Amino acid sequence: MDKLTKHRLTGAVIWLSALIWLVPQWYANPVDYPQFIFSGSKSAVDDLGDIDFDRLVVSQDTSRVTSSSESSSTSPASSANSTNKTQTPSRSTSTSSAPTAQLENPAVPAETQPGFYVRLISYQNPDNALRLEQRLQPAYPVSIGNFTTSSGRFYTVRVGPYDTREQAERIKAILDVELRVESIILDRTNQ
């Protein structure tokens, strides 16, 4: 190999390695972000980790435990057993069973109301659907539906009903950016 070919190959390797290192950095942070991306859209999903969902579920369970211990306080022998029962369940057992029990028969009516729905996302874990529902509930009319496929049971989070498709499309555009999903508009006007 002559000296000229050796220099050309060395230069090509240097340029190739420089481009392998530089090009991903160039495209990692594009300059022309649309304005709506900076409207707090990423924090809508990332802030779910800051919410203590265990506390929300445990507070409901502790009210059930205290009411059962008050009703059994009439007999002294049973009151000793009831205190043992209230101390026996661990926190992890009560938190994992409560959301599942609430979602086995969801609060969705048998016949959904007519209108346009935005189906956001489907989860196999009902706890994830419940968390998203609690996150969206202050701002949107949210419901959880379920369906079964060959892969198992899925819990779907829907927003709606809306009277017109334009309203549903507007909400779909907002939630697609906030949650970084590609939702679907369901037409339930003929029901």
Domain 116-187 adopts which CATH fold? Alpha-Beta Plaits (3.30.70)
Is the pLDDT at 157 greater than 80? The verdict is yes
Q: What's the pLDDT at 75?
A: 46
Average of per-residue pLDDT across 148-162: 89
- The pLDDT tens digits of the residues spanning 90-138 come to 444 444 444 544 545 444 444 567 788 999 988 888 999 999 999 999 8
Is the pLDDT at 49 greater than 90? The verdict is no
Is the pLDDT at 61 greater than 50? The verdict is no
Q: What's the pLDDT at 112?
A: 61
- The pLDDT tens digits of the residues spanning 17-46 come to 998 988 887 777 665 555 544 444 444 444
Exposure class string for 153-176: b at 16+ Cβ within 10 A, else e: ebbbbbbbbbeeeeebeebbebbe
Average of per-residue pLDDT across 80-87: 48
Is the pLDDT at 173 greater than 50? The verdict is yes
Is the pLDDT at 9 greater than 90? The verdict is yes
Reduced to 3 states (helix: H, G, I; strand: E, B; else coil), residue 51 is coil
Q: What is the pTM of this model?
A: 0.42
Q: What's the pLDDT at 94?
A: 44
Cis, peptide link before residue 126, omega less than 30° from 0: no
Confidence of residue 142 (pLDDT cuts 50, 70, 90): very high
